[in-house]
Structure 1
Amino acid sequence: MSFPTVVPHLLAGFGPMIGAIVIRARRARLRQPVPAHTVRLRLSMRLFWVPPLLVTASATVLVAALLAHLLGGPMVSLTSAQSLISTVGGPVPFLISMLVAGPLSEEPGWRGTAYPRLRASLSRLQAGLLLGVVWAVWHLPLFFIPGTIQAGFGLFSWSGLLFTLSVVPMALLTGYAYERAGVVAAIAVHFGFNTTMALLGVSSPITLAVVVAVQIVVATTLLAWRRDRKTDLPVQADAHQVVPDSSPRVGQTRG
């Protein structure tokens, strides 16, 4: 986390976005069409999904923290939040850092690029689970970098294990958000989760375990809600079926 080793650390953090830029540049150079399951960014009614999805992501952490306290876990407190915000220079720098480090640096890659390509041959659940496992493995190097939250947990600890496990239901939630309102919604869900975790200082194993449980319930409920078998299934006729770049339609989404 100190110079010069912080440089590759930052580049790695933006790895998913860099990968997305490379893949999309290649697609444009080869004049390849947009994948069929891509959700286009449109200033339409779809963006009204963003605020409730952001609130839902934050609520999963807050509700889990309250439930964990009832089960004997630590009390919910904003003391650590005040200290954290003061350390980074105030609310605005804090919110900007939480938005850039994670949501903006990762979601264009994970959900905006990888997810719609996985959906060409996988269902929503399968694509979310597979990407969740990849996403969890991608976080593992953070456990070996002093100064990160993950290093504070320790890889071979209950907190470290539960943090890694929590990435999978988060992938399901962000995947659902992407299909509702595109990358903006995925960024909002990622931001809501990370920010609430940081403000509440969630670190105890019991709280992390309840967070995982609550998010599994919420993710499975959302995926099952208004489920449409026709739109939930991957494209079967042709794995390369795509929507042309010039199409005026919003990319296919799933309910």
Structure 2
Amino acid sequence: MPKALAGLGVLDGVPVLPELGAFGPTVAAFVLVATVAGLAIGLVWAVWHLPLCYIPSQTIYYNIPLFGFFVSTAFLSVLHTWLYNNTNRSLLPALLFHTAFNWANGMFPVLESDPASLTLLVMLAAATVAVVAYWGPSTLSRPRSRSDATV
């Protein structure tokens, strides 16, 4: 990635562009169908990262199976949506989750191994299915009580 663009989406190693530029407003637009919003944002994020899959110096992304990458990004986005909707629509938890996931992939490069990548994909699928099943697909959030509504 050109150095001029490096700071566009990262502030001291924290990916801020996806959350600030797209995540919050897009989830708000799809508030009635949060799971669909999460999946749609995940596919857009996968396309956003797609050029990195063809740059040899981007070791996390380079030469990985694209189907698994798109599916895992969609699952992660649903989990981001769940965090966003359950933290009073704060972008900070989604930002920290994104940063922690990226950092963990750098520290523990599971994506370099097919069995580990498949295990990660299955774990993301299980977490996403559990969240959707428990919290409900339409809002991915707990019902708001009167005390939550008064701010």
- Counterpart residue number, 2:3: 6
Distance in 1 between the 2:106 and 2:94 partners?
18
TM-score for the superposition, normalised by structure 1:
0.48
- Counterpart residue number, 1:134: 44
Match of 1:167 among 49, 63, 73: 73
Q: Is the 8 A contact 2:60 2:105 kept in 1?
A: no
- Counterpart residue number, 1:117: 29
Deviations along 1:163-209, whole A, 9 cap, x unmatched? 33311100011110000112111112212211211111222122111
Using a 3 Å threshold, how does the CA distance of structure 1 residues 134 and 117 change in structure 2: closer, same or farther?
Answer: same
- SS of the residue 2:42 aligns to: helix
What is the letter of the counterpart of residue 201 of structure 1? P
Using a 3 Å threshold, how does the CA distance of structure 1 residues 228 and 211 change in structure 2: closer, same or farther?
Answer: closer
What is the letter of the counterpart of residue 130 of structure 2? T
Using a 3 Å threshold, how does the CA distance of structure 1 residues 224 and 7 change in structure 2: closer, same or farther?
Answer: same
- Counterpart residue number, 1:200: 108
Distance in 2 between the 1:136 and 1:172 partners?
13
Q: Is the 8 A contact 1:173 1:189 kept in 2?
A: no
Distance in 2 between the 1:185 and 1:173 partners?
11
Correspondences of 1:19-34 after superposition (within 5 Å): none
The structural deviation recorded for 1:150 is 4.6
Structure number with higher relative contact order (C-alpha < 8 Å, ≥ 6 residues apart): 1
Match of 2:128 among 200, 203, 219: 219
The structural deviation recorded for 1:227 is 3.2
- Counterpart residue number, 2:83: 177
Q: Is the 8 A contact 1:162 1:205 kept in 2?
A: no
Using a 3 Å threshold, how does the CA distance of structure 1 residues 226 and 130 change in structure 2: closer, same or farther?
Answer: closer
Which residues of structure 2 form unaligned runs of 5+?
Answer: 141-148
Match of 2:59 among 149, 161, 185: 149
Q: Is the 8 A contact 2:46 2:73 kept in 1?
A: yes
What is the letter of the counterpart of residue 37 of structure 2? A
**Superposition RMSD on alpha carbons, in Å?**
2.7
The structural deviation recorded for 1:117 is 1.5
Deviations along 1:27-47, whole A, 9 cap, x unmatched? xxxxxxxxxxxxxxxxxxxxx
Distance in 2 between the 1:228 and 1:216 partners?
14
Q: Is the 8 A contact 2:53 2:61 kept in 1?
A: yes
TM-score for the superposition, normalised by structure 2:
0.77
Could you list the runs of 4 or more consecutive aligned residues of structure 1 that deviate by over 4 angstroms after TM superposition? none
- Which of these two proteins has the greater Rg computed from alpha carbons? 1
